[in-house]
Amino acid sequence: SSAAIGCGYCRHPPKQGTAKMSGTTVATAPVAAKTCYETSLLCVFEAVSPYMWAYIGIAIALGVSVIGAAWGIFLTGSSIVGAGIKAPRISSKNLVSIIFCEAVAIYGVIIAIIMANKIEGAPMFDVPKVPTGWQAQTMVAGWCMFCVGLSVGLSNLVCGVCVGVSGSGCALGDAQRPELFVKMLIVEIFGSALGLFGVIVGIIQANGATFPKGPTA
**Cα–Cα distance, 63 to 154 (Å, whole number):** 10
Question: In the predicted model, what is the mean pLDDT of the chain?
Answer: 79
pLDDT in tens, 66-119: 999 999 999 998 888 888 888 888 888 888 889 999 999 999 999 999 988 888
pLDDT in tens, 19-43: 555 555 555 555 555 555 566 677 7
Find out whether 155 and 197 touch, Cβ atoms under 8 Å. Answer: yes
Question: Which H or E run contains 17?
Answer: strand 15-21
In the chain, pLDDT over 70 holds for what percent of residues? 73
Distances 71 to 2, 100, 136, 142, 164 between C-alpha atoms, Å: 37, 12, 39, 29, 7
* Residue 95 three-state SS: helix
Position 9 pLDDT exceeds 50: no
Distances 150 to 44, 143, 161 between C-alpha atoms, Å: 20, 11, 17
Q: What is the pLDDT of residue 6?
A: 44
